[in-house]
Amino acid sequence: MSNIQETKLTDDQLIQAEFDALLEEYLQSNHRRKVERITKAFNLANQAHAGAKRRSGEPYIIHPLAVARIVCGEMGLGSTSISAALLHDVVEDTEYTVEDIKNMFGPKIAQIVDGLTKISGGIFGEQASAQAENFRKLLLTMSDDIRVILIKIADRLHNMRTLGSMPPAKQYKIAGETLYLYAPLAHRLGLFTMKTELEDLSFKYEHPEEYKSISDKLKATEEQRNRLFNLFREPVDEKLKAMGLNYEMKARVKSVYSIWNKMEAKNVSFEDIYDIYAVRIIFDPLPGVDEKNQCWDIYSLITDIYRIRPDRIRDWVSRPKANGYQALHLTVMGPDGEWVEIQIRSRRMDEIAEKGFAAHWKYKESAVEEDTELDKWLQTITEILESPDPNALDFLDTIKLNLFSSEIFVFTPKGDMKTLPQGATSLDFAYALHTDIGNRCIGAKVNHRLVPLSHQLKSGDQVEILTSRSQEPQPEWLNFVTTARARSRIDAVLKKAKKEASKAGEEKVIAAFRKAELEANTSNLDKVSMYFGFPKREEFYYAVEKADVVLPENIKKLIKEKSDNVLFKYVKQAFGGGNKSQKKEDAKKEEEKEKPKFDKSKPYILKEEGFIRNYVLAECCKPIPGDDALGFINDDGNVVVHKRSCPIAMRLKSSFGERILNTQWSSHETAMFDATLSVKGIDSVGVLTSITKTIAEYNVNIQRLLIEANDGMFEGKIKMKVHDVEDIQHMCVALSKLKSIKSVGRIAD
């Protein structure tokens, strides 16, 4: 037998084994048996993808099979979703059409496959330019049949599990958009297990060293955790058994990504994270006893044994989260003197928490309430979709506000309840009632007490909104609204007002040109706006109208001076002034000239020769040699370097993946980079001298030192020039050893 035949046989065996595993998982579920339909879908997909291979070298059909297994085994969906998952790439990658699918499998599966095909571009594919439009399509399709997004999440989960075969630049792009979009979506749909895995896998590819370091530490402390858990569970086991309960108790370890997030947010080490594990109790309700009451019975039993922390009780049993999550959370003092979180759930609650409420709310055989919280969420999203002209990235950020929210429940004076995100303000509540009420809001009465627009609401508050006809939305309102609805409504009014102000400013500028007997052509207007530091004319006109820019008496003199200035010509060229057709031609030549520079199969080496660098440092995160970094090719063909963890970089990865480069620092022995340290501690005599003396031992150049003391404590920022991350690390270690210093760390300034 030839090698080709052997490979084929091996591939066929692999495919058959995967399909058999899928059928076995399906037959173990409690769905109606529709094996023929699944087999028919598999046979069509297998034949359509015949001969196609994935980058890893395995047959392409393995991917749809893996997605179908996730949909079946990890989401608990039935034959319709499994068949659609098997067929999800057929229309996009082969000759088959949606009409063919409809004729063979009926309208429902065809509709889901069509939805998946429509959203395969944009943020989900290579073309990022149509991103907002594709996201609109995705969310509008969701409200039609949510199985589209569930299968899309399963598809992304399998792609993340097999991301190792991709080149690094592609890994950053896919990991970035997964963390930015898919993980929040999975969380909102109640797919907690998947959300955690998506976050961990993204983190693993973006920060491999940190991922390995935390994973190793978790492994090293596993034995100690198990010992503490066993100590904790013994007395609880005894009481639960006495109740006659059928239950399981297990320790759930915090995910690597969550631990890292907490370390970053609180600027602490792994050893300072105390809530690394939580105890989960999952029980089968006793016959004739309400499962909610049973949760409280278990709560009572635990608090008889261990001391409770009252401010950490979370009752999601009586009022579930919007994504369907139900559980009773409490925190008690463990036998080792550390706080331990306990989650109490029934088997049904656990099923929903693991496989997602979305998989259950609409597709059960019996009648189900359609008016769920998820429906309300989709309705809110649909309203945002209809708002005028959303910018692609702003639009995604607005949507993310809703994806991440935890809920509070607030009441009108008449007793009507509104669900709002945690941290929502009285202004958010006003917009939740009606756009006009939000736009005219001047304050509120919370529990009959007068409060400002920025007042944060709590669950159970009764809120009355106060309005005035003369009130209009202000730019600072955006600083304290948290709901996507409020933000999009305020944005719409502000954009309209800004447009009108720009128009009025333009008239003033043109009047000034007429007075100076100058032609108000594009070239002259560009010169003046760029002289005042505005690359866009609309921004310049707006500044003129708002009196932030005062036009000189003689504009003619200004233009003549600046036209003769070489530097001005360079600025004009950089910002794109001059003849448009010439600009396009120059840009085209420049682009063609730049293209061969970037070989994405190899890391782009960040070099510095003399005073010339082959890259630009991003102002938002100011990376330095040693930081995990990536490159972004901007419109000018320059490589802008960001930290991989930078929020702006995350947006770029999810929106302009094709422009992302894998970068590598060369040795920067002579070069110096900006870095800022934040220092906090106890105010004492000579503390400033100790700090400066310690820093002086390293070959760095302090540029600015600002320290403020208050109530016996001090906070300081030290801006300096350093060679690399190692300088910073050594300094932080040395400073943290000083008696008065309580915390020290690098910050973006």
- Whether the pLDDT of residue 577 is over 50: the answer is no
Q: Is 526 a catalytic residue?
A: no
Q: Quick one: DSSP state of residue 722?
A: E
Report the distance separating Cα 264 and Cα 273, nearest Å.
11
Q: Which long-range contacts (CB under 8 A, 24 or more apart) does 370-374 make?
A: 372/324, 373/320, 373/321, 373/322, 373/323, 373/324, 373/419, 374/146, 374/189, 374/322, 374/323, 374/324
DSSP-derived secondary structure for 455-487: PBP-TT-BEEEEE-TT----GGGGGT--SHHHH
Of 25, 58, 92, 375, which is the active-site residue? Answer: 92
- Residue 687: count other Cβ atoms within 10 Å of its Cβ: 20
- Write down the pLDDT at residue 578: 45
Q: Are the CB atoms for 67 and 158 separated by under 8 Å?
A: yes
What's the pLDDT at 342?
92
Spatial separation of the C-alpha atoms in residues 312 and 257, rounded to whole Å:
23
pLDDT attached to residue 382: 56
Q: How far apart are CA 362 and CA 146, in angstroms?
A: 9
Residue 180 DSSP code: I
Beta-bridge partners for 722:
673
Q: Cα torsion for 162, 163, 164, 167, to the nearest 10°? A: 140
The rounded distance, in Å, linking the Cα atoms of 680 and 736 is 10
Task: Give catalytic status of residue 315 as yes or no.
Answer: no
Across 706-733, b (16+ Cβ under 10 Å) vs e yields: eeeeeeeebebebebbbbbbebbeebbe
- Specify the residue for token string 């003549």: 560
- What confidence score (pLDDT) does residue 256 get? 92
Closest CA to 473 of 489, 457, 484, 485: 489
Q: What is the DSSP letter of 587?
A: H
pLDDT of 427 above 90: yes
Most confident of 96-110, 519-533, 574-588, 664-678: 96-110
Q: Are 608 and 617 in contact, with CB atoms under 8 Å apart?
A: no
Q: Note the pLDDT tens digit of each residue in 341-360.
A: 999 999 888 887 877 655 45
Q: Is 91 helix (H, G, I), strand (E, B) or coil?
A: helix
Helices (H) and strands (E) in the chain, counts: 30, 21
Residues 6 or more apart from 459 whose CB is under 8 A from it?
408, 409, 410
pLDDT tens per residue across span 622-645: 888 888 888 888 877 788 888 888
Helix orientation angle between 522-531 and 555-564, rounded to the nearest 10 degrees = 80
Q: Evaluate if residue 129 carries a pLDDT over 70.
A: no
Asked whether 279 and 341 are in contact (CB, 8 A), the reply is yes
CB atoms within 10 A of CB 698: 15
The stretch 127-135 carries a mean pLDDT of: 44
| Measured CA distances, 690 to 685, 686, 695, 746 (Å) | 10, 6, 9, 18
Q: Which pLDDT value is given to residue 322? A: 67
Query: Any idea which of 368-372, 515-519, 557-561 has the lowest mean pLDDT?
Result: 368-372
Amino acid making up residue 736:
S
DSSP H helices, 386-483, are 392-403, 426-433, 435-439
167 or 748, higher pLDDT: 167
What are 284's strand-pairing partners?
246
CB atoms inside a 10 Å sphere around CB 148:
24
Q: Report CA 204 to chain centroid distance, whole Å.
A: 16
What pLDDT does residue 580 have?
Answer: 44
pLDDT tier at 570, thresholds 50, 70, 90: very low
Catalytic residue among 11, 93, 628, 683: 93
Q: Of 142-146, 261-265, 317-321, 721-725, where does mean pLDDT reach its minimum?
A: 142-146
Residue-wise pLDDT for 181-211, tens only, equals 788 778 777 788 888 999 999 999 988 888 9
Instruction: Give how far the C-alpha of residue 396 lies from the chain's centroid of Cα atoms, to the nearest Å.
Output: 9
- Among 17-21, 61-65, 395-399, 563-567, the least confident range: 563-567
Question: Which of 619, 142, 170 shows the shortest CA–CA distance to 403?
Answer: 142
Q: 110-119, 244-253, 491-500: lowest mean pLDDT where?
A: 110-119
Question: How much is the mean pLDDT over the chain?
Answer: 78
235 pLDDT band, cuts 50/70/90, is very high
Pairwise CA distance, residues 256 & 363, whole Å: 34
Distance (Å, whole) CA 173 – CA 652: 8
pLDDT band at 670 (very low <50, low <70, confident <90, very high): low
Alpha-carbon distance of 512 to 142, in angstroms, equals 53
Which pLDDT does position 386 carry in this prediction?
53
Question: Buried (b) or exposed (e) across 613-629, using 16+ Cβ within 10 A?
Answer: bebebbeebbbbbbbeb
pLDDT of amino acid 480: 85
Q: Which of 362, 229, 215, 236 is nearest to 299 (CA)?
A: 236
What is the predicted pLDDT for the residue at 634?
A: 80
Which range (139-143, 325-329, 446-450, 721-725) has the least confidence?
Answer: 139-143
Is a pLDDT exceeding 80 seen at residue 460?
Answer: no
Model confidence band, residue 431 (pLDDT cutoffs 50, 70, 90): very high
**Which of 400-409, 426-435, 689-698 is the most confident on average?**
426-435
Q: What is the mean pLDDT of residues 673-689?
A: 84
Domains of the chain: 3-165 (1.10.3210.10), 215-359 (3.30.460.10), 516-593 (no CATH), 594-665 (no CATH), 673-747 (3.30.70.260)
Q: Is the pLDDT at 428 greater than 90, yes or no?
A: yes
Question: What is the average pLDDT across 11-26?
Answer: 86
According to DSSP, residue 71 is labeled I
Contacts of 475 (CB under 8 A, 6+ apart): 494
Question: Which of 276-290, 371-385, 727-741 bottoms out in mean pLDDT, i.e. has the lowest?
Answer: 371-385
The pTM of the whole model exceeds 0.85 = no
The 8 Å CB, 24+ separation contacts for 101-109 are 104/40, 104/44, 105/37, 105/40, 105/41, 108/80, 108/145, 109/41, 109/80, 109/83, 109/84
Average pLDDT over residues 144-157: 82
- Does residue 127 carry a pLDDT above 60? no
What CA–CA distance (Å, rounded) separates 637 from 591? Answer: 7
Backbone phi, psi, residue 609, to 5°: -120, 115
pLDDT higher at 162 or 590:
162
